[in-house]
Amino acid sequence: MLFLIGVYGVLTRRNAIGILMAIEIMFNSANINLVAFNKFLNLENSIGIIFPIFIITLAAAETAVGLALILSIYRKLKSVYVEKMDLLKW
Amino acid sequence: MDLSFISVVPVTYGIFLLFAVIAIASAFLVVSVRSVMHSALFLAVFLLSVAAMFFVFDADFLGIVQILLYVGGVIVLILFAVMLTSRVQSHLLQQTNEQKFPAIIVCVLLFIMLSYAILTSGLQGFEKSVLQGGITGDVGRLLLTVYVLPFEVASVVLLAALIGAMAIVGKKDE
């Protein structure tokens, strides 16, 4: 359910930073799922906790790189709205 | 009220439900308010409620990591980016593009697909889990013995992301 709210946000937000925030929602919903399964299924080696740790790490790194991209695009285009970023369209 | 069978599972389920409702409400507000600044603040509320859910699930180390990295790091980054890139624009500008209706259709279809997958996978209900007294020691041991390769690879990835972010944003001397 949270994952779907994230998908809806990615598909409809015009602001590029809003899209990044919706991606964060998706990451966190997957994390909750993994931790819940870890508690109620008693997996060996506690992988249901190790895997979300790496997900959090990689999601933070990816958000940082995404924000760097958005900032450099803003410098060029002076706008954060994704309708203006259409250089690759035919 | 018959309290003779009070076990851990129903009580924590109520607490989990409370934080789940807060999380769903704030996530919905993140994707639908008009101003990006409000969106970022609702994202902070969402991440805090997710951390609370981690604590309910006995993953205390993960909850603390979540608060440190996400709320303390990612939200700060997003707030910086929002403040650097928002000029004085009218708040009556629509924040959602005109593809709201197809997006709702896509989400409903995905919901049907996911719920079909979950309901037909044969999961039983709650089992009583082994209540450890917190997992920090176990996680530390596991990170350095069994999962040491992903640990080192993650540090290399972080280094690459750091250099990449600086290379993208750094100004050239012209």
Per-residue confidence in pLDDT tens, chain B, 174 aa: 444 444 445 566 777 778 888 888 888 788 777 778 888 888 898 899 888 888 887 778 888 888 988 888 888 888 888 888 776 555 545 555 666 677 777 777 777 777 777 766 655 555 555 545 556 656 666 666 777 788 888 889 888 888 888 888 776 654
Angle at B46 between CA A45 and CA B22, to 5 degrees: 100
CB nearest to A50's CB, from B23, B147, B165: B147
Smallest Cα distance from A89 to chain B, Å = 17
Optimal mutation site among A10, A26, A32, interface B, most CBs of chain B within 10 A: A32
Helix (H, G, I), strand (E, B) or coil at B90: coil
Contacts of B169 in chain A (CB under 8 A): 68, 71-72
* Nearest Cα residue in chain A from B44: A21
What is the pTM assigned to this prediction? Answer: 0.78
Query: What is the rounded distance in angstroms from the CA atom of residue B151 to the CA atom of residue B122?
Result: 33
Q: Which residue has the higher pLDDT, B3 or A57?
A: A57
Q: What is the pLDDT of residue B106?
A: 77
Query: What is the rounded distance in angstroms from the CA atom of residue A13 to the CA atom of residue A60?
Result: 20
Contacts of A57 in chain B (CB under 8 A): 69, 154, 157-158
| Percent of residues in chain B assigned helix, strand, coil, to nearest 5 | 70, 0, 30
Smallest Cα distance from A32 to chain B, Å = 7
Q: Angle, nearest 10°, between helix axes A2-12 and A16-41?
A: 170
Contacts of A39 in chain B (CB under 8 A): 57-59, 129
* Nearest Cα residue in chain A from B72: A60
Q: Which residue has the higher pLDDT, A4 or B158?
A: B158
Q: Which amino acid is at A10?
A: V
Query: What is the rounded distance in angstroms from the CA atom of residue A82 to the CA atom of residue B88?
Result: 18
Q: What is the pLDDT of residues A7-49, one digit of tens each?
A: 655 665 666 777 888 888 888 888 888 887 777 666 666 777 7
> Do A20 and B70 touch, CB atoms closer than 8 A?
no
Residue B73 at interface with chain A, using a CB cutoff of 8 Å: yes
Q: What is the pLDDT of residue B71?
A: 87
| DSSP state, residue B130 | P
Q: What is the pLDDT of residue B101?
A: 72
CB nearest to B30's CB, from A25, A38, A64: A25
Q: For the residues A63-67, what does the mean pLDDT come to? A: 88
Q: Which of B17, B18, B12 is nearest to B131 (CA)?
A: B12
Strand partners, A15: A81
Q: Which of A75, A57, A66 is nearest to A10 (CA)?
A: A66
Residue B107 at interface with chain A, using a CB cutoff of 8 Å: yes
Query: What is the rounded distance in angstroms from the CA atom of residue A65 to the CA atom of residue A74?
Result: 14
Interface pTM, i.e. ipTM: 0.80
Burial of B22 (0-12, 13-18, 19+ CB in 10 A): middle
Q: Which two tokens stand for residue B114?
A: 């996911």
Q: Which of A27, A86, A81 is nearest to A51 (CA)?
A: A27
Q: Which two tokens stand for residue B109?
A: 């279809």
> Do A57 and B158 touch, CB atoms closer than 8 A?
yes
| Percent of residues in chain A assigned helix, strand, coil, to nearest 5 | 80, 5, 20
